[in-house]
Structure 1
Amino acid sequence: MQSKKIGLTGKIVIGMFAGILFGLLLNTLISGAADSWLKLVVVDGVLRLVGEFFITSLMMLVVPLVFVSLVVGTCSMSDPSKLGRIGGKALLLYLITTGIAVSIALTVASIVKPGSGGSMAEQDVTFEAQEAPSFVDVLIDMVPRNPINALAEGNMLQIIVFALLFGIAMALVGKPGDRLKNFFEDVNSVIMKLVMMLMQVAPYGVFALLARTFADLGLGDLLGDLAVYFITVLVILLVHGFVVYPAILGAVTRLSPVIFIRKMLSNQIFAFSISSSNAAIPVTLRTTTKRLGVDSKIASFTVPLGATINMDGTAIMQGVATVFIAQLYGIDLTMQQYLMVILTATLASIGTAGVPGVGLIMLAMVLQQVGLPVEAIGLIIGVDRLLDMTRTAVNITGDAMVTTIVGKSENQFDIDTYNDPDAGLNPDGSLKGGDDDNRT
């Protein structure tokens, strides 16, 4: 009997663990020798080249994929007014899950007390946060003054708004819109094929990215004074991603949470390795449509929206970090301040969308609201890299969960595809790329 080949998920898992182990080995070998040839040639040379080439290739596809898929999905809707209902559902669910995330983080951190053993008298840290735009400014800036500039800069909120308006106009204009629709559908097929071509080298990209990260990071910082803070955030992130999301999905839709997590595994590992929700959009779209059975009309809107405003992982970090910093300073937060943290973190997930360094900006906003010193953020930056990777995996899981709920509520969902463990896969376990798929 011919043995079954390892599928893409298995290859990505192997690449992840191999990259972590290789990175830790490199970290041990180059420890204390910044000019080591291993550091210069392997870490900053080969691994950086492979990893950043892979990330850049993904980012290359994000803007055209989001724009084209949104235009196709919007113009295909028989009732454009459905967009308001779909958008309202998605936005409400994203805000609810963010509120739940920060509430859990505050509760657990108050019990664990990660900062109770330290004192700011011994600390010397500095941090200067960027100023976050106001919520009104974000709403105003959602409409692009120059759509071409928005596409060039990758401003996701502006791209979403322009694509929705363009798609609605195509649906209303008649025959010219039909001709354009055929063109955009063809372009969408080509872009999705590009995504599948790129995914064939994903295991190597994952290996290079994680190997370089752990070669630079090591485990020393994670086992030091910030160990309790690090472990607290990490455990809450894992619980939110693997317990809370599946529980919400099962309660609302009656779908099997086990199937959801199993099909999201490779997507989670992928997002963990690249540490970017936007870069993961092509893979998340593919997973939600081909593996989970959500219609592309829904997924093409809710996934990019979630990648832009869904900050559950960041909200968890903010909750724990706020309690941690308050305890370091010996400050007892009141119930009113806890509620203010929940409200600020939830609304800030929209208010700071698309801003570079969004996680730290949001944390600075939260600390300012409860009267804690912003410069204390400098304490946690050293261990934030691995947590940021985990936050990305949690965030894209939330994007897929909300997309599935919205798709099912709108009857734009295929239950047979969801329940089929091999949906969207070739017989050898690799992802299908279209009607002309080749086995790999």
Structure 2
Amino acid sequence: MKNLLGKLWFQVILGMISGIVIGLLLSPSAFALISNELALKLAPWIALIGNVFLALIKMIVIPLVLSSIILGITSAKSVAILKKLGLVIIPYFVFTTLFAVSIGILITTFINPGSYVSKEMINQMSVANIQVVKEAQNISIPDLLVDLIPVSVAKAELSGNILAFVILAIFIGVALLSLKEEESKPLIDLSKSLQAFSMKIVEWAMKLAPYAVFGLICSITIKIGFDAISSMLMYIFTVIFGLVLILCFYLIIVYLASKMKPLEFLGKIKEVQLMAFSTSSSAAVMPLSINTAETKLEVPTSISKFVIPLGATINMDGTALYQVCAAVFLAQVFSIDLSFVELFVLALTTVGASIGTPSTPGVGIVILATILQSIGVPLEGIALILGVDRILDMCRTTINVTGDLTATLVMKRLTNFSTTSEKIANEYVSQQK
């Protein structure tokens, strides 16, 4: 027992269970041991340490992403290896995202969770929630695509457009590979220092993780209690069922790529999954994901530091499934019949929108507005699912990080990196001479 208490994953589980139990005891819609007013005032204070934890991660995520991708690219040693990596990983990410979207459309259409929601529940959508959604009405796919180009680094940082920094880091990394060693070395050394600094901040933040998990889970449970969950139970079931199907899909891919059995793979990545579930942030667990890929999955550094930061921003299979399920669900709630063409447009829009979704908690609900616009669903409908969004956010983030780790094994297998990288690098050097 003493050994278990010293493990981060066990501490996180204790924090989650304690948060749920105490949250239900204090929640006005559960056991209500204290007054409604006092419970709602207490919730932000309980969540304080969790919000501090997330703020530390948000503060350091951009330098961490920049340094990790630059070092991941430059560690490939040659443009030949980098080209090989890129030609495999991008089509793979697109394929898995399309699979997730297709699963989402099929199961939501078949289960039809919208038919289980009463009209009274729809009428209870609060004005405050609707106002939050209306702020996202101007988001469009063309705007998201334009924002990918890092014209202004300050603007990208302020808007939370992490993908712009990914693209910037890729340009820097490729350019450094094309320079002579004496020209590229200073910037590579700077990237190493920046990564070491970022990892130290993350190390400090991780000491807060169990307490942060308790605070965040407890605060959410106080606010939503039983009512919001029970009224949306079929919708929650549909999304989680879809996420489980994606997980099974990943386990099949892992076995085909590495012959690793499902339980063995899940055992090796359980700490990453628990942290992702607790924080709802792919960015927060990125360092842990990289370390797990290298130490437990035996993935080369050049693959882990390239694939995982990239995947944390564009490989959002769990988010894609959630968004398409939510869109079809709300269409059912508002009795909007979707044709085959509209479903096709929905699938394409969801793929694009999921790529542009930042890897931080809660933003998926804003990006969902883009998808709803494409099929004519009233944006006010988002208020209906806000109550249970954080729970599903935790679940889909777990699938997102699992997908990133799966991708590293696929890359390792398809590129035969561990046996051929040195050979290709030597051939490249010989050609330059």
TM-score by length of 2: 0.82
- 1:346-385 CA-to-partner distances (Å, cap 9, x unmatched) read 2332355689965335433333333433332332222222
1:193 positional shift: 4.2
Equivalent of 1:228 in 225, 230, 234: 234
Distance verdict in 2 for CA 1:358–1:133, change over 3 Å: farther
- Look up the SS of the partner of 1:35 in the other structure: helix
1:221 positional shift: 1.0
Counterpart of 1:436? none
Distance verdict in 2 for CA 1:83–1:132, change over 3 Å: farther
1:386 positional shift: 1.0
Decide whether the 8 Å contact of 1:132 with 1:352 is kept in 2. Answer: no
Distance verdict in 2 for CA 1:66–1:298, change over 3 Å: same
Decide whether the 8 Å contact of 1:30 with 1:39 is kept in 2. Answer: no
- 1:52-95 CA-to-partner distances (Å, cap 9, x unmatched) read 11112222332222222222222222212433432342222222
- Look up the SS of the partner of 2:243 in the other structure: helix
Question: For structure 1, which runs of at least 5 residues remain unmatched after alignment?
Answer: 415-440
Query: What pairs with 1:146-157 in structure 2 (closer than 5 Å)?
Result: 146-147=152-153, 150=156, 155-157=161-163
Counterpart of 1:360? 365
Decide whether the 8 Å contact of 1:74 with 1:164 is kept in 2. Answer: yes
- 1:156-202 CA-to-partner distances (Å, cap 9, x unmatched) read 22222222333334341322423443453344345334433432332
- Aligned counterparts of 1:383 and 1:169: Cα–Cα separation in 2: 45
Counterpart of 2:206? 199
Equivalent of 1:240 in 212, 236, 246: 246
Equivalent of 2:170 in 153, 164, 173: 164
- Look up the SS of the partner of 1:115 in the other structure: helix
The alignment covers a number of residue pairs equal to 407
1:151 positional shift: 5.7
Decide whether the 8 Å contact of 1:237 with 1:313 is kept in 2. Answer: yes
Counterpart of 1:33? 35
- Aligned counterparts of 1:356 and 1:55: Cα–Cα separation in 2: 9
- Aligned counterparts of 2:337 and 2:155: Cα–Cα separation in 1: 47
2:280 corresponds to 1:275: yes
Decide whether the 8 Å contact of 1:252 with 1:405 is kept in 2. Answer: yes
1:411 positional shift: 3.2
1:250 positional shift: 1.9
- Look up the SS of the partner of 2:241 in the other structure: helix
1:390 positional shift: 1.2
TM-score by length of 1: 0.81
- 1:300-345 CA-to-partner distances (Å, cap 9, x unmatched) read 2222222222232222223333332333333443333333322221
More moved, 15-24 vs 334-343: 334-343
Distance verdict in 2 for CA 1:352–1:213, change over 3 Å: closer
Query: What pairs with 1:16-415 in structure 2 (closer than 5 Å)?
Result: 16-27=16-27, 28=30, 30=32, 33-36=35-38, 39-41=40-42, 43-45=43-45, 47-118=46-117, 123-124=122-123, 125=125, 126=130, 127-128=133-134, 129-135=136-142, 137-147=143-153, 150=156, 155-171=161-177, 172-224=179-231, 226-241=232-247, 243-351=248-356, 358-412=363-417
Decide whether the 8 Å contact of 1:155 with 1:354 is kept in 2. Answer: no
- Aligned counterparts of 2:370 and 2:101: Cα–Cα separation in 1: 14
- Aligned counterparts of 1:168 and 1:392: Cα–Cα separation in 2: 29
1:142 positional shift: 3.0
- Aligned counterparts of 2:398 and 2:307: Cα–Cα separation in 1: 17
Counterpart of 2:423? none
- Aligned counterparts of 1:290 and 1:60: Cα–Cα separation in 2: 26
More moved, 262-271 vs 334-343: 334-343
Paired amino acid for 2:219: R
Decide whether the 8 Å contact of 2:141 with 2:353 is kept in 1. Answer: no
Two-structure CA RMSD over aligned residues (Å): 3.1
1:223 positional shift: 0.8
The percentage of counterpart residues that share the same residue type is 34
- Aligned counterparts of 1:198 and 1:391: Cα–Cα separation in 2: 22
- Aligned counterparts of 2:158 and 2:329: Cα–Cα separation in 1: 40
More moved, 70-79 vs 357-366: 357-366
- 1:363-416 CA-to-partner distances (Å, cap 9, x unmatched) read 3333333343333233222222211121111111112211221233233459xx
- Look up the SS of the partner of 2:244 in the other structure: helix
Distance verdict in 2 for CA 1:131–1:250, change over 3 Å: farther
Counterpart of 1:424? none
- Look up the SS of the partner of 2:390 in the other structure: helix
More moved, 287-296 vs 386-395: 287-296
1:222 positional shift: 0.6
- Aligned counterparts of 2:57 and 2:398: Cα–Cα separation in 1: 16
Counterpart of 1:15? 15
Decide whether the 8 Å contact of 2:327 with 2:372 is kept in 1. Answer: yes
- Look up the SS of the partner of 2:113 in the other structure: coil
Decide whether the 8 Å contact of 2:235 with 2:329 is kept in 1. Answer: yes
- Aligned counterparts of 2:190 and 2:373: Cα–Cα separation in 1: 50
Paired amino acid for 2:224: L
- Aligned counterparts of 1:312 and 1:343: Cα–Cα separation in 2: 13
Between structures 1 and 2, the one with greater helix share: 2
Distance verdict in 2 for CA 1:152–1:396, change over 3 Å: same
Decide whether the 8 Å contact of 2:283 with 2:360 is kept in 1. Answer: no
